[in-house]
Amino acid sequence: MTELLKISLPDGSVREVPAGSTPADIAAAIGPGLAKAAIAARVDGELRDLNRPFEGDANLALVTARDEADALELARHDYAHVLAEAVQALFPGTQITFGPSTDDGFYYDVKAPDTREPFGMDDLPAIEEEMRRIIRADKPLRREVWSREQLIAKWAGEGETFKAEWARELPEGEELTVYWSGEDWLDMCRGPHLPSTGKLDPDAFKLMRVAGAYWRGDQNNAQLTRIYGTGWLNKKQLNAHLTRLEEAAKRDHRKLGREMDLFHLQEEAHGSVFWHPKGYRIWRELEAYMRRKMDGADYREIKTPQLMDVRQWTQSGHWGKYAQNMFAVPDMVPEVDEDSGAASPKVADDAEWLAIKPMNCPAHVMVFKQGITSYRDLPIRLGEMGCCHRNEPHGALHGLMRVRQFTQDDAHIFCTEGQVVAEVQDFIALADSVYRDFGFTYDIKLALRPDQRFGSDADWDKAEQELRDALTANGLEWEELPGEGAFYAPKLEWHLTDAIGRTWQVGTIQSDRVLPERLDAHYIGEDGDKHRPVMLHRAIFGSYERFIGILIEHYAGRMPAWLAPVQAVVATIVSDADDYARHVAAQLQAAGIRVETDVRNEKINYKVREHSLAKVPQLLVVGKREGEEGTVAVRTLGAEHQKVMPLADAIAMLRAGGTPPDLLTEN
CB contact at 8 A, 386 and 408: yes
Largest interatomic CA distance in the chain: 106
**For the segment 164-221, what is each residue's pLDDT rounded down to a tens digit?**
999 888 887 778 899 999 999 999 998 999 999 999 999 999 999 999 999 988 888 9
Q: What percent of the chain has pLDDT over 90?
A: 83
Contacts 24+ apart (CB under 8 A), 184-187: 185/85, 185/88, 185/89, 186/144, 187/81, 187/84, 187/85, 187/96
CB atoms within 10 A of CB 69: 8
The Cα 280–Cα 285 span in angstroms is 9
Rounded to two decimals, the pTM is: 0.82
138: left (phi over 0), alpha (psi -120 to 50) or beta: left
Query: Which has the minimum average pLDDT: 118-127, 309-318, 517-526?
Result: 309-318
Separation of alpha carbons 239 and 418, rounded Å: 52
- Taken in order 284, 287, 291, 292, the sign of the CA dihedral is positive
CA gap 446, 252 in Å, rounded: 30
- Residues 247-261, mean pLDDT to the nearest whole number: 93
Question: What HEC string does 184-234 produce?
Answer: CEEEECCCCCCCEHHHCCCCCEEEEEEEEEEHHHCCCCCEEEEEEEEECCC
- What average pLDDT does range 255-275 have in this prediction? 94
Q: Can you give the length of the chain in residues?
A: 667
Per-residue pLDDT at 40: 95
Give the per-residue pLDDT at 316: 87
Count of other CB atoms within 10 angstroms of residue 561: 23
Alpha-carbon dihedral angle through residues 184, 190, 196, 201, given to the nearest 10 degrees: -110
Average pLDDT over residues 552-580: 94
Tell me the percentage of the chain whose pLDDT exceeds 70.
Answer: 98
Distance linking the first and last C-alpha atoms of the chain: 83
**φ/ψ (deg, to 5) at 364:** -70, -35
- Across the chain, mean pLDDT equals 93
CB 231 within 8 A of CB 207: no
Give residue 619's Cα distance to chain centre.
Answer: 35
636: buried, middle or exposed (CB in 10 Å: 19+, 13-18, 0-12)?
A: middle
Q: Estimate to the nearest angstrom the gap between the alpha carbon of 277 and the chain centroid.
A: 27
Which helix or strand (DSSP H or E) is residue 471 part of? Answer: helix 457-473
pLDDT classification of 640: cutoffs 50, 70, 90: confident
Q: How far apart are CA 572 and CA 599, in angstroms?
A: 5
Q: What is the pLDDT of residues 222-252, one digit of tens each?
A: 999 999 999 999 999 999 999 999 999 999 9
Q: Which residues contact 167 (CB under 8 A, 6 or more apart)?
A: 148, 151, 152, 155, 176, 188
Residue 1 pLDDT > 60, yes or no?
Answer: no
Residues assigned a catalytic role: 361, 390, 408, 410, 412, 491, 537
Closest CA to 444 of 484, 471, 426: 471
| Dihedral angle, C-alpha 201, 205, 207, 211, nearest 10 ° | -110
Tell me the mean pLDDT in the region 423-435.
97
Task: Determine the average pLDDT of the residues in 559-565.
Answer: 96
The pLDDT assigned to 22 comes to 94
Supply φ then ψ for residue 434, to 5 degrees: -70, -50
pLDDT of 474-532, one tens digit each?
999 999 999 999 888 999 999 999 988 889 999 999 999 999 999 999 999 999 999 99
Say which residue, 319 or 200, is predicted with more confidence. Answer: 200
How many whole angstroms separate alpha carbon 65 and alpha carbon 36? 11
654 pLDDT higher than 50: yes
Per-residue confidence (pLDDT) for residue 343, from 0 to 100:
61
Taking residue 535's Cβ as centre, other Cβ atoms within 10 Å add up to 25
Q: What was the pLDDT predicted at 348?
A: 73
Write the CA distances from 652 to 555, 590, 644, 646, integer angstroms: 24, 12, 14, 10
Mean pLDDT of 534-563: 96
Residues with Cβ within 8 Å of 301's Cβ and at least 6 positions away in sequence, in order, are: 291, 294, 382, 383, 384, 385
User: Which pLDDT value is given to residue 667?
Assistant: 42
The whole-number pLDDT of residue 2 equals 60
Beta bridge partners of 619: 569, 635
Q: Which residues contact 41 (CB under 8 A, 6 or more apart)?
A: 23, 47, 48, 49, 50, 52, 60, 61, 62, 63
185, exposed or middle or buried, with CB in 10 Å at 0-12, 13-18, 19+?
Answer: middle
Give the pLDDT confidence of 567-602 residue by residue, as tens digits: 999 999 988 899 999 999 999 999 999 999 999 999
The per-residue pLDDT for 479 is 95
Residues 34, 52: Cα–Cα separation, whole Å: 17
